[in-house]
Amino acid sequence: MTDEVDVVVIGLGVGGEEVAGKLAEAGLSVVGIESRLVGGECPYWGCVPSKMMIRAANALAEARRIDGLAGAAQVQPDWAPVARRIREEATDTWDDRVAVERFEGKGGRFIRGSGRLTGDGLVWVGDVELRARRGVVIATGTEPAIPPVPGLDGTPYWTNHEAIEADTLPDSLVVLGGGAIGLELAQVFARFGVRVTVVEALDRLLAAEEPEASALAEHALRADGIEVHTSAPAQRVDHSGTDGRSASSRAEAGFSVALPTGTATGDALLVATGRRARLDRLGLDTVGLDPAAKAIATDERMRAGDGLWAVGDVTGHGAFTHMAMYHAGIVVADILGRPWPPADYRALPRVTFTDPEIGAVGLTEAQARSAGINVRTGSTQVASTARGWIHRGEGFIKLVADTDRGVLVGATSAGPVGGEVLSALALAVHAEVPLDRLRHMIYAYPTFHRGIEDALRDLALT
């Protein structure tokens, strides 16, 4: 028997939960399908618990700064309150009952299982067939991409799931991957006393960002005692048979990772080498889409076909919660026939929550140049602003301008609150505020964001 409904949403992570909830609230009959936990990666294994870890690790780092600034402090890290907070406050011990009830309270019908398309508007889940009158929304996210390093398969390596769920910490950890997730977790564990080694195949950390951001990140990690290897593709992984989690198994390092110039060892190995969408399990071929593609291609209304939409990580526009939420707004409006601006990715903000935080928006200098833009850049160091000097802060602001149009097309703001300072720059890129207007704005003294004024001055000089 086939159940007829208005909309079926496959995957109730950040994007899917928002779409399904909003459409149900608007009075449509909506079925939401989720194979794991309603809410998805962000609240259970991503943004929220990782930022709780970072908050705790930064408190330790701040306490260590008391010496020479405000007296003396003895810092004794303890992972137990962090693990408890993640379990009790963030994830409800990885239980989504509240989220399921919230969705059902909005009028949605929830089915736990793996959804698969079987034709236009048709979805199978378990032994139920659903026919969606208005359409199907794919919001299935991504999972960790595991590189084909010889020896890795079959070892008890960690992904972000095990790292977030850790009740106790290993003595030492190798992190494969120098992107945002790897660096954030590496710094957290190092600040809690774990001996951490970061291994990155490319020639710099945070390779998608400005080279200045990469240099700052590497400097900050080294200052926390982290060993960093760049241009170091892992050639082989060996595992001694211990799992690195129990005290008895820590007697000898569990993992050894062969690099071009040496070996990195650790009780545990965290694989953080990017994310990939699993399109092969979604029945995409039944609606004329390529299951071997890297992402689901969408138009500016997030349409992937007739009566088919996709949102979030699975679209390949950037694996961020704010991207999934942004997409969700577009899809809800499109399905309800409400006016809404088309998708526009010019001012995509992203923040690596290391200390210092590295925020960026829009194009990097290299991206702007290869797009044929007539580029001019301006920059300043955080330490050269009054606030940065007072805080002994490290970081920089870099602006990337399109000189023909007289607007910013990108910016990086790295520093003690780089992600917050970014908001002004994101607004400038998004609204295409003329450089002249930015120059003649009043910037509060002494704030970190006053660095924007200095960088604008530098931009005028270069």
* From 29, 58, 91, 160, residue interacting with ligand FAD (rule: CB under 6 A): 160
- Give the relative orientation of helices 97-105 and 14-25 as an angle to the nearest 10 degrees: 30
Helix, coil or strand: residue 134: strand
- The CB-of-428 to ligand FAD minimum distance in angstroms stands at 21
Should residue 46 be labelled a site residue for ligand FAD when binding is judged by CB under 6 A?
Answer: yes
* From 25, 26, 35, 297, residue interacting with ligand FAD (rule: CB under 6 A): 35
What residues contact residue 79 under an 8 Å CB cut-off, 6+ apart? Answer: 166, 167, 168, 169, 192
Q: Are 139 and 312 in contact (CB under 8 A)?
A: yes
Type of residue found at 248: S
Should residue 181 be labelled a site residue for ligand FAD when binding is judged by CB under 6 A?
Answer: yes
- The CB-of-401 to ligand FAD minimum distance in angstroms stands at 26
* From 3, 6, 25, 47, residue interacting with ligand FAD (rule: CB under 6 A): 47
Should residue 319 be labelled a site residue for ligand FAD when binding is judged by CB under 6 A?
Answer: yes
Closest residue to ligand FAD in the complex (CB): 13
- Give the relative orientation of helices 418-431 and 451-461 as an angle to the nearest 10 degrees: 50
* Stretch of residues binding ligand FAD (CB under 6 A), selected from 27-35, 75-83, 372-380, 396-404: 27-35
- Cβ burial 17-29 (10 Å sphere, 16+ → b, else e): bbbbbbbbeeebb
* From 204, 276, 303, 322, residue interacting with ligand FAD (rule: CB under 6 A): 322
> What CA–CA distance (Å, rounded) separates 53 from 59?
10
Based on CB atoms, which residue is closest to ligand FAD, 139 or 358? 139
DSSP structural state of residue 90: I
Tokens of 169: 């910490």
Q: Is the dihedral of CA 385, 387, 388, 390 positive or negative?
A: positive
Tokens of 215: 């240099």
Based on CB atoms, which residue is closest to ligand FAD, 136 or 425? 136
Angle at 414 between CA 408 and CA 416, to 5 degrees: 135
CA 81, chain centre distance (Å)? 24
Should residue 298 be labelled a site residue for ligand FAD when binding is judged by CB under 6 A?
Answer: no
Should residue 271 be labelled a site residue for ligand FAD when binding is judged by CB under 6 A?
Answer: no
Should residue 11 be labelled a site residue for ligand FAD when binding is judged by CB under 6 A?
Answer: yes
Should residue 114 be labelled a site residue for ligand FAD when binding is judged by CB under 6 A?
Answer: yes
Tokens of 107: 């009028």
* From 29, 58, 91, 140, residue interacting with ligand FAD (rule: CB under 6 A): 140
What are the helix (H) ranges across 302-362? 321-336
Q: Are 45 and 173 in contact (CB under 8 A)?
A: no
Q: Are 359 and 410 in contact (CB under 8 A)?
A: no
Based on CB atoms, which residue is closest to ligand FAD, 332 or 373? 332
Tokens of 49: 């618990």
Q: Are 171 and 195 in contact (CB under 8 A)?
A: yes
* From 266, 312, 359, 395, residue interacting with ligand FAD (rule: CB under 6 A): 312
Q: Is the dihedral of CA 370, 375, 376, 380 positive or negative?
A: negative
> What CA–CA distance (Å, rounded) separates 137 from 13?
12
* From 19, 33, 257, 435, residue interacting with ligand FAD (rule: CB under 6 A): 33
* Stretch of residues binding ligand FAD (CB under 6 A), selected from 38-46, 145-153, 165-173, 413-421: 38-46
* From 41, 96, 210, 454, residue interacting with ligand FAD (rule: CB under 6 A): 41
* From 103, 157, 309, 320, residue interacting with ligand FAD (rule: CB under 6 A): 320
Q: Are 450 and 417 in contact (CB under 8 A)?
A: no
> What CA–CA distance (Å, rounded) separates 220 from 207?
16
- The CB-of-88 to ligand FAD minimum distance in angstroms stands at 19
- The CB-of-440 to ligand FAD minimum distance in angstroms stands at 33
- The CB-of-39 to ligand FAD minimum distance in angstroms stands at 7
Should residue 321 be labelled a site residue for ligand FAD when binding is judged by CB under 6 A?
Answer: yes
Based on CB atoms, which residue is closest to ligand FAD, 36 or 276? 36
Should residue 14 be labelled a site residue for ligand FAD when binding is judged by CB under 6 A?
Answer: yes
Should residue 13 be labelled a site residue for ligand FAD when binding is judged by CB under 6 A?
Answer: yes
* From 42, 198, 287, 455, residue interacting with ligand FAD (rule: CB under 6 A): 42
- As a residue count, the chain comes to 462
Should residue 141 be labelled a site residue for ligand FAD when binding is judged by CB under 6 A?
Answer: yes
β-strand pairing of 128-138 with 308-310? parallel
Should residue 40 be labelled a site residue for ligand FAD when binding is judged by CB under 6 A?
Answer: yes
Should residue 435 be labelled a site residue for ligand FAD when binding is judged by CB under 6 A?
Answer: no
* Stretch of residues binding ligand FAD (CB under 6 A), selected from 29-37, 69-77, 91-99, 191-199: 29-37
* Footprint of ligand FAD (CB under 6 A): 10-11, 13-16, 33-36, 40-42, 45-47, 50, 114-115, 139-141, 160, 181, 281-282, 312-314, 319-322, 324, 353
